[in-house]
Amino acid sequence: MPEEQAPEGAEHCELCELAKQRTRVIWGEGNPRASLMMMLDNPGAREDREGNSFVLLKCRPIRAYNKPGARAACLPHLQLQLSQKRTLLLFGFGNVVAEAVFPDKEGASVKALRGSWHAFQGIPIGFAYHPLAVRRRPNLRGIFIEDLNALKEKWKEIQQVKH
């Protein structure tokens, strides 16, 4: 699928210090009318070069930065994306997404949030460990697979209600 273009105004965002580090704004990729949105933390070198995966932060950090400030600055972009789409289900990978989606929730982490469904802007959201964390810690693989199976079951449930 082609990369989605950042909307006017977002493509030159300077709401946080990452604006000075980035090559470009990464909006995401995939079917713009998809009902399922999966979120990762921030773009890496490949995404900065090529686009690709949907990311919470829209700019690639290349050095230390104010993480809460960047998350807060990018949250309106996520809210804009959700308002433009007909998203029925959200799924976040990693603690960065959990902390960004629930900034006021004490101890918002995958460990605390996984295994059940929550709501973000009225949309069900589930969480799993970041794929790179699973790769580094093979003991998380079974939990990761459980979470993906839970996503599959929730998706089936939503599709049945939809039709």
pLDDT band at 156 (very low <50, low <70, confident <90, very high): very high
pLDDT (tens digit per residue) in 44-99: 666 556 655 555 767 677 778 888 888 888 888 888 888 888 889 999 999 989 99
Token couple for 132: 């790179």
pLDDT (tens digit per residue) in 99-123: 989 988 998 999 999 999 999 999 9
88-163 matches 1-87 in CATH topology: yes
pTM of the prediction?
Answer: 0.85
In this predicted structure, the answer to whether residue 31 has a pLDDT above a threshold of 60 is yes
- β-bridge mates for residue 128, sequence order: 93
> H or E element: which one contains 130?
none
Fold of 88-163: Uracil-DNA Glycosylase, subunit E (3.40.470)
Burial class of residue 112, CB neighbours in 10 A (0-12, 13-18, 19+): middle
Question: In the chain, what are the domain boundaries?
Answer: 1-87, 88-163
Which of 3.90.70.10, 3.40.1080.10, 3.20.20.140, 3.40.470.10 would CATH assign to domain 1-87? 3.40.470.10
Question: What average pLDDT is seen over the chain?
Answer: 85
pLDDT (tens digit per residue) in 123-150: 999 999 999 899 999 999 999 999 999 9
pLDDT band at 12 (very low <50, low <70, confident <90, very high): confident
Neighbouring residues of 121: CB distance < 8 A, sequence distance ≥ 6 = 79, 82
